[in-house]
Structure 1
Amino acid sequence: MHTASSAQDEPNTHLSEELELRIGNDLFDQGWSQQDGFLSAGLSAALAEECRALMAAGALKKAGIGRGEEQTIRPDIRGDHIVWLRTGQSPACDSYLQLMDQLRLALNRSFFLGLEEYESHFAFYPPGTAYQTHLDRFRDDDKRTISAVIYLNEGWLPEHGGALRMHPEDKPAIEVLPLAGRLALFLSASMPHEVLPATRDRLSLAGWFRRRG
């Protein structure tokens, strides 16, 4: 497990065999995985700072539901603001994307999924906003295979709310608090999930490992 004690630490861009095995076993056994300390403290802090700066500059826009011409803004259903990441955007984003590409390769080794790319965006939830229960795979597009959420919130407490609530089939709901550096992975096509409202700003990186359609 990757941890760091200072925001000045070098970012981790390599996954250990132990972590790869743990993630693979989790996804195979239960369809989801939670890994704490996936991001170093330094990388998490740098990404959080970048997310806040982009939000303050107006670069993050209200997220919609649906696709293409059918996409609509429904704050009562989805309340986050987003901006998609691109290679070369910043050193912190490049380090994060490099780490996730290592994870893409690890998932291909474990499951022969043919994952070809990873797409990701910052997600900023102001206090009181949420995202109602949904699936990440579109009905007319089966490319999204594994969903990933990485949290960027230092000092998060249970009373702040804002959990990711997953709904596995025939099992009790699972709640994951958005603690800085924590990774949550789940199968895009079969894990209904929601984001609960929080009492403070909630920052994360949402992403999807995609295969050929």
Structure 2
Amino acid sequence: MTVLQFDLDAVLDALADKGWVVIPHALPASLVQNLRDTCLSVWQQGLFHEAATGRATGQARRAEIRSDSVLWLDQVAAEPAVQAYNAAMDDIMHAVNRGLYLGLAELESHFAVYPAGAFYKKHLDRFQDDDARTLTTVFYLNEGWPQGAGGQIRLYLDDACSEYLDIEPEAGTLVLFLSDRFWHEVLPARQQRLSVTGWYRRRTDRVL
């Protein structure tokens, strides 16, 4: 039985119409808290690493571009909260494939911790040499995020990046958008900011 707390058809309509959607209270509060507890536990164990940009041999830490730290969920796949989250995200993937025919095959995702002052400059989520990433997912774990604390994702809505939407990183909010279409950035956070960030990937036969 799904734990999704929203109308999947309405989400599919929004993705088809705009290419993005913001869903408050997407998952049960108990699951959000369990994910937060898991994230903080592995953070305190020192299991995260500083996030890099690029891929393969071009991957490097560039602190002027991003200053968060990450831990891939497959490293903590046995945690009950991670299993429940992955099951919920599978439900979304199957619905998107049925309704929008995107050919999604898997989800890669990680916990992301932004310490106070951390940010991620404007970027696209699809690599130039790898077009598998299709739909970006961001799920927030910050209960009672205060106004003025920063840390919003700024989603640019047009090609010129002149129109944008700032999305508060409030616990339980799920953001979905097409990975190759929307430039976005994470504004500097004034306190620790937690999320689960991921990408639904489609199958690709491209040989690099």
What TM-score range do you get, normalising by the shorter chain?
Answer: over 0.9
- The equivalent of 2:167 in structure 1 is 176
Query: Are residue 61 (structure 1) and residue 52 (structure 2) matched?
Result: no
* Unaligned segments of structure 2, at least 5 residues: none
* Equivalent of residue 11 in structure 2, options 15, 23, 38: 23
Q: When the two structures are superposed, what TM-score results if normalisation uses the length of structure 1?
A: 0.90
Single out whichever of 196-205 and 167-176 deviates more from structure 2. Answer: 167-176
Q: Deviations over 1:164-204 (max 9, x none)?
A: 00111156210100000100000000100000011110000
- The equivalent of 1:152 in structure 2 is 141
Query: Are residue 140 (structure 1) and residue 129 (structure 2) matched?
Result: yes
SS of residue matched to 1:159? coil
* Equivalent of residue 96 in structure 2, options 85, 92, 107: 107
- The equivalent of 1:191 in structure 2 is 182
- Aligned pair count? 201
* Equivalent of residue 197 in structure 2, options 187, 206, 209: 206
Aligned AA (1:57) = Q
- The equivalent of 2:85 in structure 1 is 96
How many Å apart are 1:97 and its aligned residue? 0.1
Q: Residues 3 and 27 of structure 2 are in contact (CA less than 8 Å); yes or no, is this contact kept in structure 1?
A: no
How many Å separate the matches in 2 of 1:57 and 1:14?
A: 29
Q: Sequence identity of aligned pairs in percent?
A: 43
How many Å apart are 1:88 and its aligned residue? 3.7
- The equivalent of 1:122 in structure 2 is 111
Moved over 4 A (4+): none
How many Å separate the matches in 2 of 1:102 and 1:33?
A: 16
How many Å apart are 1:13 and its aligned residue? 3.5
How many Å separate the matches in 1 of 2:20 and 2:83?
A: 25
Tell me how large the CA RMSD over aligned residues is: 1.4
* Equivalent of residue 68 in structure 2, options 49, 60, 80: 80
How many Å apart are 1:15 and its aligned residue? 3.7
How many Å separate the matches in 2 of 1:169 and 1:88?
A: 37
